[in-house]
Homo-oligomer: A and B are copies of this chain.
Amino acid sequence: MDTVQGGDSAKVRGADPARRGRLRGELTVATIARLAGVSAPTVSRVLNGRSDVAEDTRRRVEQLLREHGYRRPGAILPSPGIEVIFYGLESNLAIEMMRGVQGVVTDHDLGVGFTEVMVDAPVQRSWCERMLARRPTGVIIVHSLFTAEQHAQLAASSIPLVAADPNGQPHQPVPSVGAANWGGAVAATRHLLELGHRRIGVIGGPGVSLYARERLEACRAALEIARVPLDPGLVRTGEFSFEAGLGLGSELLSQPDPPTAVLCGNDLQALGVYKAARRLGLHIPRDLSVVGFDGIDAGTWCDPLLTTVRQPFRDIGAAAANLLLALIAGPVPAQTRIELPASLLVRESTAPPPA
């Protein structure tokens, strides 16, 4: 016999102390079905994540299951926690986001779960099914690369979901938190213009990446508005890696009329440009100014310290957690898209152009 056990597992701890233990005892799937006004097999179909259930019905049943803290007998117990799912994010940034999430949710006595999904993993679905089997209180997806199928699976679970992506907007319609890429890139460009640079090179991320395009177009717009149009010969795009920065930076700097400054798509590319400059005997910032994007720790372990656009990874994690708690607590909040500012951090790698 399927039973429904009481408790407030699907609620935020402490949100409603009066509810605690109220529903203790055993409720059968049949009871849930009666409460929802559907048949028991329909409840089972919802429990099994099947898609052949009308949208309204599914929502109603899931709502009841959550309210009653349902779990399948003998199955994995609900985990009173927030699961954070990463798609191969740079280590430094992942920990910062985890810190932000933890800072918010531990006050609600919720645990924080960590899952890293390998984008190229052979069995793409398994992480999703496994995570759903743990029936977490809520889920934060970092990066928006999850598929329409995974999104449907998550949505069908009725487990509250938020996308936290410093780098762009989710492809799927979920509440999300991000950073203002456009504003950050504009600030970096203006900084170089104000220093007096007129030959400014840009190394962007891969062309298929929306946010890489956003940063590149922001640089282009800021330059055009300042009447310093971007020279197409000074633009390169490639992976967000140290190696790409080294290779593309070498190309840019070896030209007959090289740029006096390079705006990079991220900090790793910028560190690659450092190496390219050193190989060519160029001193940063005397001969060349370099600006990164992200604000990783390694930008303070290089010489000179890297001027960059800092993304507020910890704040993004915290904002995602707060948005998720709001979703767990009640109806969809008014604001379901939050963008935090990315701010220019002027350190040592930028200076006026050589005379």
Contacts and interface: CB of A to CB of B under 8 A. Distances in A.
Interface of A: 3, 5-9, 13, 20-22, 24, 69, 73-81, 83-84, 91-92, 94-96, 98-99, 102, 106, 109, 111-116, 127, 130-131, 133-134, 136, 242, 268, 271-272, 274-275, 278, 297-298, 300-303
Contact of A83 (B111, B271, B298, B302): B111
A95 B268 CA distance: 18
Contacts of A134: 80-81, 109, 111
A5 B21 CA distance: 13
A102 B104 CA distance: 23
B130 A106 contact: yes
Q: Which of A91, A98, A109 has the largest number of chain B CB atoms within 10 A?
A: A91
B81 A111 contact: yes
Contact of A73 (B21, B91, B98, B99): B21
Contacts of A22: 74
A100 to B, nearest CB: 11
Contacts of A8: 74
Contacts of A5: 5
A77 B80 contact: yes
A20 B71 CA distance: 13
B102 A7 contact: no
A116 B5 CA distance: 32
A24 B114 contact: no
8 contacts: A5-B5, A24-B73, A77-B78, A91-B297, A111-B113, A111-B136, A242-B301, A268-B301
Contacts of A274: 303
Contacts of A78: 77
A116 B105 CA distance: 13
B303 A275 contact: yes
A19 to B, nearest CB: 8
A289 to B, nearest CB: 18
Contacts of A84: 114
A74 B278 contact: no
Contacts of A113: 81, 111-114
Q: Which of A77, A99, A102 has the largest number of chain B CB atoms within 10 A?
A: A77
A194 to B, nearest CB: 28
